Every structure is written in structure tokens, then in C-alpha cells.
Structure 1
């Protein structure tokens, strides 16, 4: 008679909480972008502090406006990459959902990737609005909540890998 596992192994886990985290990222990202789009005109900025502004910027390229002025084909390339990455991340979450830090990382990246794919599909560009600057270095490229989730997720992924290597 086969025995049932009472406790799932560390490599398995429910997909639902991780997709829930991604959905929360998507929701926060899209609500913030809709709000900024309705409140600001393109290029308009509002000073919040001496180092932070809100600004409505449209990015047709990738991170830091890479390939921004490339004629439009990049919209389709980055949309396809985002959809492909999302599919692969869901497979990883299905397989490794029990690895908490890894799953958090992938969930944040998934939510951010889908948030930016939604922008590309709806508007043809990504809506950016967070503008940090420092007098000596100028302005950091504007970004959004999806980008923030992707960066935090990437940081958690690196941390998780470093922890795994040191075991």
C-alpha cells in the first residue's frame, strides 16, 4: 500500500498565495498608473521633496528607456518577453512554491512583468511616474511600482541564491 505524504516536500506548495501576491502587485501598479494618467499631463511634474518628484513619463523601451526611440517594434518584443517570462515564472512557482524566499521573489517579478505588459498592450508604452534625483547626480530614470516589484524580486532572488550556495 502506498503511503501518502502528510507534509508536502519543500519543493512543492500551493500556487494560489504566490499568484495572489502577483495580483496585488498588478492591482497596486495599475491603480497608481491610472491615477497618474488622470491627474497629470505627459511631462508634468510635482515636487514632493528635495529628492523626489511625481512625473508622468511614457517609456516605449525597456528599463531606463533602453531602445525607447527604436520605431515601435520594441513594444512587441518586450510584450512577448514579458508574457514568456510570466509563463516560465508560473511553472517555477508550481514546482518550487514551498521555497518561500524564492517564491516571493518570483511572485514580485511576475506581478511587475504583467503590470508592464498590461501597459504595453493598452497604451503602447509603459507609464512611469516615480522620479528620484540628487543634485550631484541628476535625475534617476522615472519608474513605477511594477519596476520596483521586479527590482525587489530580483534582489530577493539573488539573496536566496547566495543563501543556497552557502548551505
Structure 2
């Protein structure tokens, strides 16, 4: 819910690439992602459709994994991690599937919800709304650094959303608490 509320707020309040500096290291920057992480795209006429259909299949698999893990009384760490991944994936899928028909384009204007003329795309061809930017270092590198010295550099340039945070947190929990998430079963040995 937080993900969708924040995306709808940004989409209906900001123009594409509009930015608000909250702190020097945190900005709200409205961008739309047509493809995968960091704006990567699957080329071709059907690339976006293929990506959206793949995401739908993946969410079914993640949903089954969550249901099966809950049924088997898996550890709370595993259940929370899968739930975060599922919720984040669902948030981005909603954008990919529906935003093309629910909103008008955000280029040079603030998008309206359910425009009379129709949306900017078709079903399964929506763009994912991203808005969280943390440029922790945004300056020119010292000239003494070989190759890159004297050139502008931004550390942590990606722009992301709440759904991406949920997915990353879920994956991080699985990595950090791997032994708790996937405990080894011990066999009872009769003496």
C-alpha cells in the first residue's frame, strides 16, 4: 500500500524528471522505468510485454513459495523475507500491468488519473514509477585519480521506489540470516 500510495502521489503531483531536494544526500526525483533494474530494457517490439509476463509468472512462483513455506511452518525470517519480496514484486507489477491505461503521460505535465482520452499505453505496457534518490557523493573526482580524475561522479546514482526497497530487504534478510531462514533438519537418533 505504501508503495502504491507513494507512486500515485508522485505520478499525479510531479512532472517527469521533476526533483525536490530533501537533504543534500536525499532527493525525490520522478523517473519512469520502462524495463528492468537501472533502466535496462529487453529490446524489440515485444520486449516490454515479455518482461511483464515474466514478472507475472515470477509472482505466482513467489506466492506459491510463500504459501508453501507458511504451510510447512518455516522460520519467521524466511516468511518475512518472502513476504517482502512478494509485496515488492507485486507493487512493481501493478505499475507494469495497469499504469499505461490508468494514467496519461508525465512528459511536460502532471499526469491525471483515468484521463478521458485514455492512458499513455496499453495493458501490460505500463512504466514503473521510481522516486527515491540518494546521491551520497555528487561532485568532481580529484584530478590525481587515474583515468576518472577531474570528471563528475555520483556515488549511488540509481533511483528506486518502495517496492524495490522491500525486494532488496527481503533478499538481504535471506543472505544475512541464511542459517535461520533455511535451518538444517536434524535427525533424531535413537540410543
TM-score range, shorter chain: 0.7 to 0.9
Measured in 2, the distance between the counterparts of 1:160 and 1:102 equals 9
C-alpha displacement of 1:81: 2.2
Contact 1:48 1:54 in 2 (8 A): yes
* Residue of structure 2 equivalent to 1:113: 89
Instruction: Report which stretch shifted further, 99-108 or 137-146.
Output: 137-146
Residue 89 (str. 1) matches residue 88 (str. 2): no
Contact 2:41 2:48 in 1 (8 A): no
**Greater fraction of residues in helix:** 1
Q: How does 1:1-167 map to 2 (within 5 A)?
A: 27-67=1-41, 70-71=43-44, 73-97=46-70, 98=73, 99-122=75-98, 123=100, 124-133=126-135, 134-136=137-139, 137-138=153-154, 140-163=157-180, 164=182
Larger Rg: 2
Q: What's the C-alpha RMSD, in Å, of the aligned pairs?
A: 2.0
Query: Which runs of 5 or more residues in structure 2 are unaligned?
Result: 101-125, 140-152, 186-191
Q: TM-score, normalised by structure 1?
A: 0.76
Measured in 2, the distance between the counterparts of 1:83 and 1:103 equals 20
Query: Which runs of 5 or more residues in structure 1 are unaligned?
Result: 1-26
Contact 1:75 1:125 in 2 (8 A): no
Superposed CA deviations along residues 56-89 of structure 1, whole A, max 9, x for unmatched, are 1010010111127x35533222212221121112
Q: Secondary structure at the match of 2:27?
A: strand
